[in-house]
Amino acid sequence: MSMRKDKFYIGTLFLIAVSSTIALGFHDGLEFNTIALTIALYWIFSIIYFNLRYIFTTNKGITLDYGISYSLSIAVFLGPLGLLIYETLNRISVYISRKLTKTADEEEGLHTFYNIGSFALSSTFAYLLYWWLEPFFIQIPLGYWVLIVILMIIVVSLSDLFLAVILYLWGEITDRGKFVRFIKDRSFNDTLKSALSNGFLLYLLLENQFELVFVFFLINYTINRSIVYKARATQDKIERDQFEEMAYTDFLTAAYNRAYMNKRLEELADNASGEQIGIAIADLDRFKQLNDQYNHYVGDQVLQHFIDQVRLYLGEDGEVFRSGGEEFTLFIYGKTFDETYDLIDQLRQNIKTTSVTVDYLGKPENVEYSSSFGLYYFTISDEKSIEKAHIHADDLLYVSKERGRNRLTSHDATK
């Protein structure tokens, strides 16, 4: 049986990284205690930072992490072999953590080899470039920081390229357009943040300021923890709002449903503000016959057309709810009785004179329909006034139906 392409690719990447880092060894002039202390600091804080990573799942169910990486600074300071040791310890710790928490992918071990190989290889390349270019950049203003930013862009680009190959082999990237979108998804602000963090850490390491390295990690963790938790809280709120919207929205018409209408009735009653509003109940005339003549799909299109017309006329001055099958309730705010009456009557006339083009048996068909309305205009005083208003509006709708449909029957209770 032939080896899977992704396994061959990851294995090759890992072997090249290991062989090159071992061949290059540690950076010259470092004592064992310095190497051990640096690796220990980076390893410990990487474990702590693990909870601050950003996670997304691909279409194939593969979990990928995005988080700030400090590989560049440790690579330049310790050399490729020190980087390899750190990456190995870090990735094995992640592997064990995921296994213990049962969040590991089926091929977590393979992903561990990929992460070690890709990070070690890209940062080793940056190590070679740094010590080659450093004498030139150090002579220009802010040259050190310019060099660090350039190196970080290179590291990020290599990492994205390595990952893009994997996603291609997994079938996640199938064409050039998806590859371009994947590359563009990388935030330059994140790259700049990583560059500045690594640049500052490297500067402290080169100055032998290990206490400040510890303090920097601690401060950076505190800041990032606050940012991540705020982001998660915001995301949770967005998801709650989306869930609430789904719970209160009619799927077919995207109008509010009866549950939300009852909620709004309670809110209006609780306020008892003395505000004057109109409650109109609309019912599409002979809707069952329309469904029988065509089909329910055509009926659905008519309902959607009706809601579009209601929204067009109401604008920001009201709300519409689907309170029954073909029955809708409208709340109209901030208008006098005459203005409210005119608005509903214009809506009624427009519905009667405007046909809706539907898809029927694979062909466009113009369908005409009408709607009857009952309008009750009143002053909100208490809960009972709201309940009575809704009942009165329903009674007025019944009168419109009795009078021959396509009618508007109203009552002004403020006089």
Tell me the domain boundaries of the chain. Answer: 5-247, 256-412
What residue ranges in 297-355 does DSSP mark as E strands? 318-322, 327-332
Exposure on the CB side of residue 332, measured as CA atoms within 13 A: 26
The residue that leads in pLDDT, 384 or 231, is 384
Strand order across the beta sheet in which 327-332 lies: 256-257, 318-322, 327-332, 276-284, 371-379, 408-412
Instruction: Give the whole-angstrom CA distance, residue 301 versus residue 303.
Output: 5
Q: What is the CA 209 to chain-centroid distance, rounded?
A: 40
Per-residue pLDDT at 264 exceeds 60: yes
Give the sign of the dihedral formed by CA 59, CA 95, CA 235, CA 159. Answer: negative
Q: And the tokens for 97? A: 């953590």
pLDDT (mean) for 307-318: 90
Per-residue pLDDT at 411 exceeds 80: yes
* pLDDT on residue 376: 95
Per-residue pLDDT at 296 exceeds 50: yes
Which CATH superfamily groups domain 256-412?
A: Reverse transcriptase/Diguanylate cyclase domain (3.30.70.270)
pLDDT (mean) for 205-229: 82
* pLDDT on residue 57: 45
Q: Partners of 189 in the beta sheet? A: none
pLDDT tier for residue 272 given thresholds of 50, 70 and 90: low
Residue 160: CB atoms within 10 Å:
18
Instruction: Give the whole-angstrom CA distance, residue 155 versus residue 149.
Output: 10
Record the pTM: 0.57
pLDDT (mean) for 167-185: 80
* pLDDT on residue 227: 63
Instruction: Give the whole-angstrom CA distance, residue 189 versus residue 318.
Output: 42
The DSSP result for 132-174, as a single string, is: HHHHHHTTSTTHHHHHHHHHHHHHHHHHHHHHHHHHHHTTS--
* pLDDT on residue 1: 41
Tell me, what DSSP letter sits at residue 4? P
Residue 141: CB atoms within 10 Å:
7
Residue 79: CB atoms within 10 Å:
21
Per-residue pLDDT at 51 exceeds 70: no
* pLDDT on residue 242: 63
Which residue in the block uniquely carries the two structure tokens 């940062």? 123
Per-residue pLDDT at 190 exceeds 50: yes
Average pLDDT, the chain: 86
* pLDDT on residue 228: 60
pLDDT (mean) for 349-376: 89
pLDDT (mean) for 152-169: 89
Q: And the tokens for 206? A: 């080169």
Selection from 82, 45, 73, 220 nearest residue 152 by Cα: 73
To which H or E segment does residue 231 belong? helix 210-247
pLDDT (mean) for 24-39: 93
78 in Cβ contact with 127 (< 8 Å) = no
pLDDT tier for residue 64 given thresholds of 50, 70 and 90: very low
Out of 108-122, 212-226, 292-306, 367-381, which region has the weakest mean confidence (pLDDT)?
A: 212-226
* pLDDT on residue 55: 47
Selection from 308, 319, 288, 300 nearest residue 252 by Cα: 300
Name, in order, each residue with C-beta under 8 angstroms of 399's C-beta and a sequence gap of 6 or more. Answer: 374, 407, 409
Tell me, what DSSP letter sits at residue 2? P
